[in-house]
């Protein structure tokens, strides 16, 4: 379409306005015009244009003036680039005919550049999650934004766990362009499991097959953060703000996301996008479930308690290194909007070699001290571990802005495996504290990190399912456990001995300790664009990837 140009007034001052193929610009008509006086709005970030003087807060109000029109658009907050706010500008044309031309031109351009914008959404509200504010957040802050953007919504308030998942699995979703959760990571997990499960059922793919290549989901997921934990939202948008998330949904952003499928033998257990953690994080979650009455503070309480226990667990870790030469877990890059590493992953998805899921081969094992590592082959590590964590994303959160693995990517088909070996409380505290500052949490002698495609973990003693663990303990492990308890006052104070931890899978305790985990590249899509900002971040100290 040809550029459209005329003079418009803003607060009785004359401006030269031009609408081209990508943006809407206006410049103060002054002899001493300066470049910084030019205001530009990308067309993809214009939310709506309406005739007259329009207000939407605290309630929608329209004053029908003949020559005015109001443009609503996205604006970045001054002190936080990731936080979006809804801004507006009122323009006054010379006459009503010119006003109508501007409204028509802007509407056509918005439609042309907004083909990915949703027209109808299925919204799930969890009224019980977090501090019970999800319903208020949606109806007081989000509903009017969707109405302004012309989005039709069907709202369901959940009354039980997994109701949203079951609805997605059973109901006809053909009329919807996306699903939205107003809640935390738990509600998001329900939507994700429902969509992935539905896609596999329609494609006749068994979720119980750990070697199956899963079918991607067509519907996007939107997250309005309103839960106790909102890790997925923070790691994909950069801020936990309901308005920001709603605006990303309205403009139709799309961010693919890798998903880990977790199996026990030939049985599917769960999907994960943020973290699968054994040891410290598993113990924290398991203990916090006993104190749900405390609310979100239960995580801090259980974290302190588990830290004092200072437990470590024996096991065998087998992992398949990722064959990506573009990045590694300690290259100081950050996955940001337009990430090239994630963009190139789509090409790798078409390669049969990349999709192959090899069986564990003991002959492929090479020690960490080897000069060369064989890409795509299996390696193993046996020992006593304080924590074993696998994450498909940085897992950033307000308390840890860089996250569990700062250089992890959202959609490159890999996950970062972080192994923390047995260490003292002081050493482990150093590792934990580095998650909150600019120091490298992997630059410690008892911490290893690898970029992987798959993981197998076998606890020692092995997982016997329904059999009593104590009845099958080897004699030397029983003796070691008792001696450790006798020698530690804090262990007696905080809890008895335990030879096996539990896996924390995106905030839920898994029933088995022996698991297989495989990364599925870009299995789902979110209404997001990744965190906006620079792709490189310097640290005070950095060592080459080992």
Residue 538: name the closest of 406, 377, 405, 442 by CA. 406
DSSP letter assigned to residue 303: H
Joined tokens for residue 6? 């005329």
Q: Which residues pair with 53 in a beta bridge?
A: 63
Residue whose pair of structure tokens reads 């989000």 in the numeric block: 142
Helix H or strand E encompassing 425: helix 425-433
435 DSSP assignment:
G
Q: How many residues appear in the chain?
A: 546
Write the CA distances from 161 to 75, 193, 219, 321, 384, integer angstroms: 37, 13, 22, 36, 36
In the 8-state DSSP scheme, what is residue 228?
A: S
DSSP E strands: which ranges in 368-426?
378-391, 415-421
Cα pseudo-dihedral 412, 528, 169, 163, rounded to 10:
120
Q: Which of 327, 510, 325 is nearest to 410 (CA)?
A: 327
Neighbours of 499 (CB within 10 A): 20
Q: Are 252 and 119 in contact (CB under 8 A)?
A: no
Tell me, what DSSP letter sits at residue 500? Answer: -
From the list 200, 22, 216, the residue with the least C-alpha distance to 109 is 22
For residue 185, indicate whether it is catalytic: yes
Question: Cβ-count burial of 377 within 10 angstroms (0-12 exposed, 13-18 middle, 19+ buried)?
Answer: middle
Nearest to 249 by CA among 143, 394, 112: 143
Peptide bond into 171 cis (omega under 30): no
Residue in 68, 87, 100, 185 annotated catalytic: 185
Report the 10 Å Cβ neighbour count for 437. Answer: 12
Beta bridge partners of 92: 9, 68
Going by their DSSP bridges, the two strands 68-77 and 61-63 should be labelled as: unpaired
Question: Which of these, 403, 514, 419, 509, lies nearest to 459 by C-alpha position?
Answer: 514
- Can you tell me the distance from the alpha carbon of 182 to that of 178, in angstroms, rounded to the nearest whole number? 13
Both tokens of 110, joined, read 């918005």
* Residues with a known catalytic role: 185
């Amino acid at each position: 379409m040809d550029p459209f140009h005329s003079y418009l007034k803003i607060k009785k001052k004359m401006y030269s306005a031009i609408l081209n193929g990508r943006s809407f610009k206006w410049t103060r008509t002054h002899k001493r015009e300066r470049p910084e006086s030019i205001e530009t709005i990308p067309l993809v970030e214009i939310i709506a244009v309406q005739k007259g003087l329009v207000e939407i807060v605290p309630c929608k109000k329209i004053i029908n003036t003949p020559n005015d029109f109001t443009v609503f658009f996205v604006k970045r907050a001054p002190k936080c680039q990731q936080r979006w706010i809804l801004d507006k500008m009122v323009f006054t044309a010379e006459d009503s005919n010119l006003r109508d031309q501007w409204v028509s031109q802007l509407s056509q351009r918005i439609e042309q550049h907004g083909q990915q914008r949703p027209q109808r959404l299925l919204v799930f509200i969890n009224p019980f999650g977090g501090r019970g504010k999800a319903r208020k957040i949606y109806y007081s802050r989000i509903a009017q934004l969707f109405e302004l953007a012309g989005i039709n919504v069907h709202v369901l308030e959940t009354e039980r766990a997994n109701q949203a998942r079951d609805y997605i699995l059973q109901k006809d979703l053909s009329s919807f362009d996306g699903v939205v959760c107003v809640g935390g990571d738990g509600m998001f997990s329900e939507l994700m499991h429902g969509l992935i499960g539905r896609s596999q059922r329609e494609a006749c793919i068994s979720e119980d097959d750990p070697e199956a290549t899963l079918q991607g989901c067509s519907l996007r997921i939107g997250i309005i953060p309103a839960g106790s934990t909102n890790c997925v939202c923070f790691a994909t948008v950069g801020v936990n703000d309901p308005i920001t998330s709603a605006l990303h949904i309205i403009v139709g952003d799309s961010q693919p996301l890798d998903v880990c499928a977790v199996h026990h033998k030939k049985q599917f257990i769960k999907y994960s996008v943020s973290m699968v953690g054994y040891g410290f994080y598993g113990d924290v979650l398991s203990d916090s479930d006993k104190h749900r009455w405390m609310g979100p503070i239960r995580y801090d309480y259980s974290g302190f308690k588990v830290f004092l226990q200072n437990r470590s667990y024996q096991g065998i870790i087998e992992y398949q290194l990722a064959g990506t030469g573009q990045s590694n877990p300690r290259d100081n890059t950050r996955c940001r909007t337009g990430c090239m590493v994630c963009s190139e992953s789509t090409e790798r998805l078409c390669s049969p070699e990349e999709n192959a899921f090899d069986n564990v081969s003991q002959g492929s094992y090479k020690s960490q001290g080897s000069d060369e590592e064989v890409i795509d082959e299996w390696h193993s590590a046996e020992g006593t571990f304080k924590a074993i964590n696998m994450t498909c994303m940085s897992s950033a959160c307000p308390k840890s802005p860089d996250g569990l693995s700062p250089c992890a990517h959202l959609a490159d088909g890999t996950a970062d495996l972080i192994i923390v070996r047995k260490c003292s409380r002081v050493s482990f505290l150093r590792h934990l504290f580095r998650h909150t500052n600019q120091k490298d949490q992997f630059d410690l002698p008892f911490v290893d990190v690898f970029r992987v495609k798959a993981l197998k973990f076998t606890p020692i003693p092995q997982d016997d399912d329904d059999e009593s663990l104590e009845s099958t303990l080897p004699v030397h492990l029983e003796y070691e456990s008792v001696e450790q308890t006798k020698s530690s006052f804090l262990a007696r104070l905080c809890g008895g001995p335990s030879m096996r931890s539990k896996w924390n899978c995106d905030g839920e305790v898994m029933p088995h300790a022996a698991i297989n985990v495989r990364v599925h590249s870009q299995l789902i899509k979110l209404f997001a664009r990744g965190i906006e900002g620079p792709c490189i971040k310097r640290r005070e100290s950095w060592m080459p990837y080992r």
